[in-house]
Amino acid sequence: MRRQQHARWITERRICNAPSEWIRCDGALAPIIDRQLFDAVQNLRKDHVARRDPVEMLKRLRRLLDECGTLTHSMLANARAIAHPGTYWRRFGGMRNAYLLVGFNPPGRSWAKRIQRQTGPGAAYCAMG
């Protein structure tokens, strides 16, 4: 069990306390799962959240577009080989930029054309910087 991992006053920003300042009590609760299983899952999580290569992310997004013919938020959220839409949003400055980079223009939307008219055809690349 641990407490005080983060601290803040009402009017201040949240501060991350150093691990040496945490109040810990190891073994306070009986474990629900076996330690080996816990460690195995932690290793899987660590690999899963490791920083992905932007080029590889776009290749996978393009592959999904080629297979399905369209892209939606729920499709990306449920696809196993694709990063979560939030990851694309953070990495490329929005889903629009990621969509433009793989050549996808959702039907009935003119935002991609508007962005290209306003800023030029290479505008989507600036978010990768």
Most confident of 2-11, 91-100, 111-120: 91-100
- Provide the β-strand partners of residue 15: 7
Is 0.75 topped by the overall pTM? Answer: no
DSSP class of 68: H
Distance between CA 127 and CA 58 in Å, rounded? 13
Tallying the residues shown for the chain, one arrives at: 129
- Provide the β-strand partners of residue 43: none
CA triple 56-39-60, angle to 5 deg: 10
Q: Smallest Cα–Cα separation from 61: which of 104, 32, 94?
A: 104
Q: How does the average pLDDT of the chain come out, rounded?
A: 76
Residue pair 33/51 in contact by the 8 Å Cβ criterion? no
Phi/psi of residue 47, nearest 5 degrees: -65, -35
Where exactly are the structural domains of the chain?
A: 2-48, 54-128
pLDDT single digits (tens) 58-111: 999 999 999 988 888 888 888 888 888 888 988 898 888 899 999 998 766 555
CB-based burial, 80-93: b 16+ in 10 Å, e otherwise: eebbebebbeebbe
